[in-house]
Amino acid sequence: MAEKLNELLADKATLLVRENFTGVRAEWWWERRMGGGIEICQELDPQHMARDLSRETGRETSTVRRAIGDELGLEDDEPVVLTFEIAGDATVAEAARMLSERSSTSEGLAAGLYREVEEGLKDV
pLDDT, tens digit, for every residue of 97-114? 999 999 999 999 999 999
> Which stretches of the chain are assigned E, i.e. beta strand?
28-32, 38-44, 80-86
CB 56 within 8 A of CB 75: no
Q: Which of 113, 31, 112, 41 is nearest to 83 (CA)?
A: 41
Which positions ≥6 away from 77 have C-beta within 8 Å? 46, 47, 65
pLDDT tens for 71-85 read: 999 988 999 999 999
Range of 111's domain? Answer: 5-122
Domain count, the chain: 1
Give the pLDDT confidence score for residue 30 in this predicted structure: 96
Q: What is the pTM of this model?
A: 0.89
